[in-house]
Chain A
Amino acid sequence: MRYEIRLSGSGGQGMILAGVILAEAAAIYDEKNATQSQSYGPEARGGASKSDVIISDEDIDYPKATNIDLLLALTQEACDKYICDLRKKAILIADSFRVLKMPEGDFRVFHLPILKTADEVVGKAIVANIVALGAIVEITGIVSREAIESAVMARVPRGTEDLNRKALTAGINIVRQYMKDAPGDSPLAS
């Protein structure tokens, strides 16, 4: 099974690093096949930025997502731009403060306060990408808890381990809270 993930937002939100960590979790710690590729503008900050992660039991040839199973959108622009690449019944995770106009279609929506949680609960806006990874893993189970935690720890600067562990947990918690508030939907993790 080929599983296509696109992490999108604006430059500086850490979407490419989040893609690298997610792919490393799958490839190194869960020993699946994975690729990570990226697309960004010439700006250092701002501008559209996205990272595609493909996870599969089989060999992966084409490294770009064209039939997306999961889209993370941290800006309205990213959400509007990539929504058309979602397959039916795909998952859309959108930031509840930056994505106000939610698209309609045949997909499951998780409208989560990712940026706000990073800023107010974890205490640093910069860890929004790690909060998002926590949410993705809680919703999909596409990589294991252990794998994502190991991959995050291996990538973040020394001295920020606790902060990032807190961010990962916060991401998991906002999904649990979201599920509680919207009964009927259950996580897709198997």
Chain B
Amino acid sequence: MFVQGNHACVLGALRAGCRFFAGYPITPSSEIMEILASELPKIGGKFIQMEDEIAAMGAVIGASLTGLKAMTATSGPGFSLKQENIGYAAMAEIPCVVVNVQRGGPSTGLPTQSSQADVQQARWGTHGDHEIIVLAPSTIPEIYTTTIWAFNYAERFRTPVILLLDEIIGHMREMLKIPPDDEIELWDRPRPECEPGDYRPYQMVDTDIPPMADFGSGYRYHVTGLCHDETGFPTNDPQIIDRVMRRLTRKISRYRDQIYRSRESNLEGSEIVLFSYGSTARAAKQAMDLLRREKLNVGLFRPVTIWPFPEEQVRKIARASRHIIVCEANMGQIVREVERISCSQTNVHLVNSMNGEPVTPSQIMEQVKEVY
């Protein structure tokens, strides 16, 4: 199939088992909503256009509580509005996928132009300490598979997962070959095996991820954004809060190895490593190929999982390289993380763009030649 990134996202979501979508149309994400509006009813799913972005996020949380795999899609201004409810989903441990097809900001910014300026917001957009999983694919086939992984992670780890696309890969078209069934893994949320009367929804369990009962299945429990104990009712007990907060962080951090996804090219023996993600990684890949044709040793590290940040991998690259060149379409957001992790063990540079136009391969090549 020759499809748009937003379309590939829909196909991935349906393959993952998404059966509920609520949203509010916003450029450049609207095609996701438009296609799901026609596809979901055909397979018994539900689609709702809500009155606004906040309500859409609320509806997704409600649908997920009943046991459905649920998703919404938005862009910058809508992503800002959804933050309160994303925090609620993090606190109440409700699986959901939030797609943000990034455009220029702040505010309504550049509705039809691309950016990657929401990568830190995706990490820290909602208030309070919390872990979150953020994925940023670069190609149309990768949008398909990464959307499936977004659902897998959301379900298994009971957390909101942010799928960060951008206008360029959301709208661009490219060939997509649908992978056969044996190449696709589908994960579900843990569900209780105990009697309804014995069910404690936020029980401390070995896995750190308590089983989640579907609303309406006979298991009754209380859901709140307030700090709560194992029963789900609010508590101010510092000892309990301490335990819960540490578990909420641990349930993501201890599974980092399952969550990290990245692509590496020519890292071995390269003194200069490009670090890029999302659509900008496509410019970095082309720059690397052209530079290597000129016999310059340049490698590329392309994280698909942006958060949790691939700290171990970056530490390794920092030790082995002379320069890391971060390429991103913002004023310099992920470069801070790379600088923090590499601890001055290598030289970190930024090649960026924030005017709605993409970072170009020649911009990157120029920077490489300057430091080579």
Contact = CB atoms under 8 A, between A and B. Distances in A.
Asked if A pairs with B, the answer is yes
A42 B362 contact: no
B172 A61 contact: no
B283 A61 contact: yes
Contact of A62 (B2, B113, B174, B282): B282
A113 B317 CA distance: 56
Nearest to A20: B173
Contacts of A140: none
Residue from B173, B282, B361 having most chain A Cβ neighbours under 10 A: B173
A37 B283 contact: no
A38 B171 CA distance: 7
Interface in A1-36: 20, 23-24, 27-28, 33-36
A63 B112 contact: no
A110 interface: no
Interface string A158-188: 0000000000000000000000000000000
B184 interface: no
A34 B174 CA distance: 6
A63 B172 contact: yes
Of listed B286, B360, B362, residue having the most chain A CB within 10 A: B286
Given A24-B2, A27-B2, A66-B361, A61 B112 contact: no
A62 B112 contact: no
Contact of B174 (A35, A39, A64, A66): A35
Interface string B343-358: 0000000000000001
A33 B175 contact: yes
A27 B175 contact: yes
Q: Give the interface centre of A35, A62, A63, A66 by most chain B CB atoms within 10 Å.
A: A62
A39 B112 CA distance: 7
A29 to B, nearest CB: 10
Interface string B217-260: 00000000000000000000000000000000000000000000
A40 interface: yes
B111 interface: yes
Given A63-B172, A64-B358, A42 B282 contact: no
Interface string B1-13: 0100000000000
A36 B171 CA distance: 9
Q: Provide the main secondary structure of the chain B interface.
A: mixed
A10 to B, nearest CB: 14
Interface residues of A, number: 21
Nearest to A16: B171
A20 B283 CA distance: 21
Interface residues of B, number: 21
A41 interface: yes
Contacts of B286: 61-62
A55 B342 CA distance: 39
Nearest to B361: A62
B90 interface: no
B270 to A, nearest CB: 17
Given A62-B286, A66-B362, A37 B172 contact: yes
Nearest to A36: B173
Contacts of A20: 173
Contacts of A40: 112
B22 interface: no
A60 B360 CA distance: 14
Nearest to A33: B175
Contacts of A36: 172-174
Contacts of A23: 2, 173
Interface of A: 20, 23-24, 27-28, 33-42, 60-64, 66
Interface of B: 2, 27, 111-113, 168, 171-175, 279, 282-283, 285-286, 289, 358, 360-362
24 contacts: A27-B2, A28-B2, A34-B174, A36-B173, A37-B171, A37-B172, A38-B172, A39-B113, A40-B112, A42-B111, A42-B112, A61-B282, A61-B283, A61-B286, A61-B289, A62-B282, A62-B283, A62-B286, A62-B361, A63-B168, A63-B174, A63-B282, A64-B358, A64-B360
User: Which 3 A-B pairs give the minimum distances between C-beta atoms?
Assistant: A37-B172, A61-B286, A62-B286
Given A62-B282, A62-B361, 20 more contacts: A23-B2, A23-B173, A27-B2, A27-B175, A33-B175, A34-B2, A35-B172, A35-B173, A35-B174, A36-B172, A37-B171, A38-B172, A61-B283, A62-B283, A62-B286, A63-B168, A63-B172, A63-B279, A64-B168, A64-B358
